[in-house]
Amino acid sequence: MRGTRGRASVEIDIFTLFPEWFQWFYTQRHVRNALAAGSRLECVGIREHTPLSGGQVDDTPFGGGAGMVLRVDVMEAALRARYGVDPMELRDRRRVVALTPGGRLLDDGYVSELAAEDSLTLLCGRYEGFDERIVEHFASDTLSIGRYVLSGGEPAAMVVCDAVLRKLPGSLGDAHSAVEESFSEALEGNPEYPHYTRPAEYRGWRVPDVLLSGHHERIESWRRERSRERAQDR
Ligand code: ADE
């Protein structure tokens, strides 16, 4: 079972200077499950498509300052090579998401939105980030996984793919677990209730009696209550 608005599969392209970083990611169980169920995850190496000599992809920022900025002509070449269209038109056909620390903050609602798409393109910046014209003219969305700066968008792309793919049916072993988890609609956007497993008592720390009662309605209402409490605490 899953949210009624979600799709069965999604095709994700990740534009990155470090496609090899994703090798490990592909080996993760739920990623493999999602791919086996029809989703697709491909990396496009931006450097492979640069029109500049010596594999150049970035440049110093106009106006001075530290660090390097990913060039707009290089990103355009990579997008054109992949899709065969002017990247300005691409965002009318699919969500093109620029990963940037100042972007729209990722939350469960944003993840569900992305998981409902047929196809997604994630653009990873490096060093100081993107030339702003990439964001302005090629991207449909910006996305931040938090208000801190990573040295590149790749870990953020993995976070997005992980969160999106686990919303798809067949990705998780127990299909129910993505429905009723933290911040989901089923929990009214609240954090998840606490879980316990065996032993029922450990060092004198007892599992709440209600969970051992076998009384499903009482368990359900206890869980809703804890979930609401956690929302208030945080
Ligand atoms: N690139 C660098 N930092 C980032 C962040 N916090 N979120 C998304 N992309 C990023």
pLDDT at 2: 36
| pLDDT of 175 higher than 60 | no
| C-alpha to C-alpha distance for 8 and 34, rounded to whole angstroms | 9
Pull the structure tokens for residue 223.
Answer: 């869980």
| pLDDT of 177 higher than 90 | no
The atom of ligand 1 lying closest to the CA of 146 is 6
> Which pTM value belongs to this model?
0.90
| Residues 6+ away with beta carbon under 8 Å from 67 | 61, 127, 128
Q: How far is CA 183 from CA 5, 112, 148, in A?
A: 16, 11, 22
pLDDT at 179: 66
| pLDDT of 30 higher than 50 | yes
**Helix locations, the chain, DSSP H:** 22-26, 29-36, 72-83, 87-90, 108-115, 132-137, 154-165, 209-212, 216-233
The atom of ligand 1 lying closest to the CA of 153 is 1
Pull the structure tokens for residue 44.
Answer: 């496009």
| C-alpha to C-alpha distance for 3 and 109, rounded to whole angstroms | 12
Q: What is the pLDDT of residues 184-194, one digit of tens each?
A: 777 787 888 99
Q: What is the pLDDT of residues 216-230, one digit of tens each?
A: 999 999 999 998 998
Atom 7 of ligand 1 has which residue's CA nearest to it?
A: 144
| More confident call, 26 vs 170 | 26
Terminal alpha carbon distance of the chain: 29
Distance 198 CA to ligand 1 centre (A): 39
Q: What is the pLDDT of residues 192-204, one digit of tens each?
A: 899 999 999 999 9
Closest residue by Cα to residue 123 from 91, 168, 165: 91
Q: What is the pLDDT of residues 88-130, one digit of tens each?
A: 999 999 999 999 999 999 999 999 999 999 999 999 997 678 9
In this structure, the number of other CB atoms found within 10 A of the CB of residue 21 comes to 17
Atom 6 of ligand 1 has which residue's CA nearest to it?
A: 101
By three-state DSSP, how is residue 30 classified? Answer: helix
Peptide bond into 191 cis (omega under 30): no
Distance 115 CA to ligand 1 centre (A): 20
Mean pLDDT over residues 75-81, rounded?
A: 98
Q: Are the C-beta atoms of 12 and 119 separated by less than 8 Å?
A: yes
Q: Ligand 1 within 6 A of 158 CB?
A: no
Pull the structure tokens for residue 92.
Answer: 């009318």
Lowest mean pLDDT among 111-120, 167-176, 203-212: 167-176
Reported as a pLDDT band with limits 50, 70 and 90, residue 231 is: confident
Atom 5 of ligand 1 has which residue's CA nearest to it?
A: 101
% the chain with pLDDT above 90: 80
Atom 10 of ligand 1 has which residue's CA nearest to it?
A: 100
The atom of ligand 1 lying closest to the CA of 99 is 9
Q: How far is CA 26 from CA 12, 15, 19, 30, 180, in A?
A: 13, 16, 11, 9, 25
Q: Ligand 1 within 6 A of 150 CB?
A: yes
pLDDT at 108: 94
Burial of 110 (C-beta count, 10 Å sphere; 0-12/13-18/19+):
middle
pLDDT at 183: 73
By three-state DSSP, how is residue 193 classified? Answer: coil
Mean pLDDT of all residues belonging to the chain: 91
Q: Ligand 1 within 6 A of 38 CB?
A: no
pLDDT at 3: 40
